Amino acid sequence: MAWSKPVGRAGLLLLGALALVAVFGPMALPDPAAQGDLLAESLRPPGEGHLFGTDQLSRDVFSRVASGLRLSLTLGVLAAMLAVTLGTLIGLVAGTWGGAIDAVLMRLVDALLAIPRLFVLLLALAVWDRIPLPALVLLLGLTGWYGTSRLVRGEARRLHREEFVRAAEALGSGRWRIAFRHLLPNVAGPVLVAATLGIGDVMLLEAGLSFLGLGVRPPTPSLGGMIQESRSVFATAPWTSIFPGVAIVLAVLAVNLVGDALREALDPRSA
C-alpha cells in the first residue's frame, strides 16, 4: 500500500535499512559497553576500526547507535501497538454502543487529554528510578491511546449509521459481533496510520526523556542518553552526538513517511 507512493517507498527503504542496523548491528559490532584503552582509544574521530568514532569512555559509537536504535524502535513499536490496541478497543465500544457508555468513555478521554503526556511521564519516571523496559512500554502505551480512541469512535459512529450495519442487525448480529466483525475491518486503515505515526511519537518521547536523564539509564545505550552524555565534548568530538541525533531524525522521518504514504493510500478521497 505504502510502496506504491515514492514517499512511502523512500520511507520503507530507510526504515528497512535502519531496522537491519538495529537488528543485526549489535551482533556484528563490538560490545557497546566495552571500554577500550581510555587514553589511547577515547574520542577517536570516525575512521578505521570505528566507523562513527569513539566516545569519552572509548566505546564504539556505531555499535552504541545500533543498540540505541534497537531500543528505540522496540519501545516505539511495542508502546504504539499497546496504545493503538487500547484506543481502538475503547473507541469501538464507545462508537458501537453509543448513549451513556459513549458519553462516559469520551468524557474520560477529554479529562485524560487535559493532562499533558510529558508531565505524567516525568512524574512517573521521577518517582520510579531505574524503570524496567516493560514498565516503560506500559507507561508510554497507557498515555498514548486517547487520540486513537477518538478517531476510531468517530469512524465507528459514522459507519454505524450505514445500512450494512442495519443489515447485519437484521441478520441477527449482536453488538460485539457488529463491532468486531463488521466495523473493525472498516476502521483498520486509519488505525494502521495512527499506529505508524504513534511509533514516531514514542521514539521522540523516549529520546527526549533519556536526554533529560529519565527513562533508560546508562550504561544501556539510548539515542537521547548518548546526546546528553556527550554534551561536554560536543565542541571537540561532535561525532559523539551527531550520529545518535541523525539516527533519531532518520528513524522518526522514516516512520512518518511510511505513515503519510499509508494515509494517502488508504484514504479514498485522495485516490
Partner 1 sequence: MTPLLEVRDLRVGFPTGRGAIHPVDGVSFTLDRGRTLAVVGESGSGKSLTALALLRLVPSPGVIEPGSMVRLGDQVLTELDERAMRAVRGGRIGMVFQDPMTSLNPVFTAGDQIAEAVRAHRKVTAREARDRALALLEEVGMPAPERRLDEYPHQLSGGMRQRVMIAIALAAEPELLIADEPTTALDVTVQAQILELLDALRAKRGMAVLLITHDLGVVAGRADDVAVMYAGQIVESAPTAQLFAAPAHPYTQGLFASIPTLHGERGRLTPIPGVVPPPDQWPSGCRFAPRCAFRFEKSSEPPPLLPAGPGQLARCWLHAEQPA
Q: Quick check: 55 and 225 in contact, CB under 8 A?
A: no
Which x/- pattern over 82-101 shows residues binding partner 1 (rule: CB under 8 A)?
Answer: -----------------x--
106-165: contacts with partner 1 (CB under 8 A): 162-164
Tell me, letter by letter, the H, E, C secondary structure of 31-100.
Answer: CCCCCCCHHHHCCCCCCCCCCCCECCCCCEHHHHHHHHHHHHHHHHHHHHHHHHHHHHHHHHHHHHHCHH
In the bound state with partner 1, the residue whose beta carbon lies nearer, of 113 and 167, is 167
Residue closer to partner 1 (CB basis): 188 or 246: 188
Whether the CB-CB separation of 4 and 265 falls below 8 Å is answered with yes
CB 233 within 8 A of CB 43: yes
41 forms part of the interface with partner 1 (CB under 8 A): no
Q: Which is nearer to partner 1, 190 or 244 (CB)?
A: 190
- Shortest Å, Cβ 80 to partner 1: 23
Q: Which of 7, 168, 242, 266 lies at the binding interface for partner 1 (CB under 8 A)?
A: 168
Give, as ranges, the residues between 172 and 201 that touch partner 1 (CB under 8 A).
Answer: 172-174, 177, 181-182, 185-186, 188
**DSSP 8-state class, residue 218:** T
Smaller CB separation from partner 1, 134 or 174: 174
Q: How far is the CB of 125 from partner 1 (least distance, A)?
A: 41
CB nearer to partner 1: give 132 or 172: 172
Q: Is 194 within 8 Å of 151 (Cβ atoms)?
A: yes
Nearer to partner 1, 15 or 179 (CB): 179
Minimum distance from residue 164 beta carbon to partner 1 (Å):
5
Nearest to 202 by CA among 81, 65, 24, 23: 81
Size of the site for partner 1 (CB under 8 A): 19
Q: E strand or H helix at 194, and its extent?
A: helix 184-211
Q: CA–CA distance from 137 to each of 99, 117, 229, 271 (Å)?
A: 33, 14, 23, 35
Q: Judged by CB, which is closer to partner 1: 50, or 182?
A: 182
| Nearest of 67, 116, 115, 63 to residue 216 by alpha carbon | 67
Nearer to partner 1, 17 or 104 (CB): 104
Query: Smallest distance from the beta carbon of 168 to partner 1, in angstroms?
Result: 7
Smallest separation, CB 189 to partner 1 (Å): 9
Query: What is residue 238's three-state secondary structure?
Result: coil
3-state secondary structure 196-210: HHHHHHHHHHHHHHH
| Shortest separation between residue 181's beta carbon and partner 1, angstroms | 7
Distance in Å, CB of 161 to partner 1, minimum: 10
Closest contact distance (angstroms) between CB of 99 and partner 1 is 8
Greatest alpha-carbon pair distance for the chain in Å reads: 78
Site residues for partner 1 per CB under 8 A: 99, 162-164, 166-174, 177, 181-182, 185-186, 188
